Amino acid sequence: MAFDSPIITKMQVVPVAGYDSMLMTLSGAHAPYFTRNLVILHDNAGHTGIGEIHGGEHTNNSLNSMRTLVEGQPIACYKQILQNIHRQMRPAAQDDGEGIQTLDIAKLQFVVKSEWAVECALLDLLGQYLNVPMCQLLGEGKQRDEVEMLGYLFYVSDKNKCPAGEFPYLDESNSSDPWFRLRREEILTPERITEEASALHQKYGFENFKLKAGVLDGEVEMETLIQIKKQFPNARINIDPNGAWSLNEAIRLCKDMHDVITYVEDPCGPESGYSSREIMREFKSATQFPVATNMIATDWRQFYHTASQSACDIILADPHFWGFDGSISLSHILKEWNLTWGIHSNNHFDITLAAYAHTGAAALGNPAPLDTHWIWQDGQNLLEDTPQIVGGKIQVPQGAGLGVHLNMARVEEANKLYERLPTHDRNDAMAMQYLMPGWIFDHKKPCLVR
């Protein structure tokens, strides 16, 4: 059957790299660079659709293997295209199905589904063909014109402890922007994190904050939250230790913090023969805190077990885990079950920022403020028309499709940077060797506590 819609004539997969700060997480220290993969689709109507997803060789190879399933297909059949891709895909031999319950970064590539970058580019093309924004094609269509975001706070180590030749972190000490200067400096105390929150509030208007924990002693991280709350008494303040704490430690740290913390994200992980879902259900019962996750409900099967055990109240449905259609479908269920939908973030360029804006605009219910790492990459625009975060909210692009346009000169520069890198896969342990010689990842020990 012939369909009267444009035909995809070309699919490009462009690996790109950008610069990062020495951000600290349970898994270690971010390297000077982060990598991503772009999908660029061209159709015979003269339109270009774009998508962005995590970097790394596995994801890049997966995307390149899909080209013959995409080229030559009508954009009106985008769901059939995705279905054909799913029929062809097979789990990698190294994928044990455990996902990222213990924040093993090597397994993130198996939780991320590369075809969702293709889905984004297809929706971009379809929106341009129909002359509607991408959010109108998701779920029940556009629910809001702007989407609330949160200020994502990180501890940052001293980049000067690493040899500059091997780890050339950006130095923005001469920037005229106070936030740009601050984000490349050492930030390892409650006072400095509070300064970070103030700088983000000043630049982007954030009224809500999340602290990436699992870095220092839990008591220090709690003191950090207390100081932020004093500075911003009306803010929603959340913490994410990525399961670093034991159940008993998580209860002890959080049980008396109801006047400071709004919700806790992945406070505990598997222990004593019990899964993360069972342990987090016990944490909820003991503390009466709402619990969020991006670690134990990354697909429909995991969500079923999470929901059936009442382990979490807030599901952070990253569309690069769930797909754009899947993420919005989940928002329908969460709304009906009186649970909360949100989005988890990873290092990303502004293409993902635009995609998050559309996804957040289409989500049903009352979403939690969305994560974004973009504030740490701001200034490395690959778009001509990067969406803006103003007053703590991102404005949804008004044009057809994603409503944004690539700057190919910047894309080519980001690709050249990628090609110069010695490795393309994320490794948070490399820089840690200069902070703590012999450092080894332990999912139950904060990264700077050894």
Ranges of residues in the chain with a pLDDT under 70 are 1-3
Cα separation, 227 vs 214, in Å, equals 18
- Please state, as a whole number, how many other Cβ atoms lie within 10 Å of the Cβ of residue 155: 28
The per-residue pLDDT for 98 is 79
Q: What is the pLDDT of residues 418-432, one digit of tens each?
A: 999 999 999 999 999
Find the catalytic residue in 42, 47, 113, 212. 212
Q: Are 134 and 398 in contact (CB under 8 A)?
A: no
Q: Are 374 and 350 in contact (CB under 8 A)?
A: yes
- Please state, as a whole number, how many other Cβ atoms lie within 10 Å of the Cβ of residue 1: 4
The per-residue pLDDT for 319 is 97
Q: What is the pLDDT of residues 355-386, one digit of tens each?
A: 999 999 999 999 999 999 999 999 999 999 99
Token pair in block for residue 227 = 């100081």
Is residue 86 flagged as an active site residue?
no
The per-residue pLDDT for 101 is 87
Token pair in block for residue 104 = 């093993």
DSSP-H helix ranges across 89-137: 108-111, 115-130
Of 14, 5, 2, residue with least CA distance to 382: 14
Cα separation, 6 vs 381, in Å, equals 29
The per-residue pLDDT for 95 is 83
DSSP 264: E
The per-residue pLDDT for 2 is 56
Of 162, 215, 153, 210, residue with least CA distance to 31: 162
The per-residue pLDDT for 94 is 85
The per-residue pLDDT for 91 is 81
Is residue 344 flagged as an active site residue?
yes
Mean pLDDT for the chain overall: 96
Find the catalytic residue in 30, 47, 320, 344. 344
The per-residue pLDDT for 3 is 64
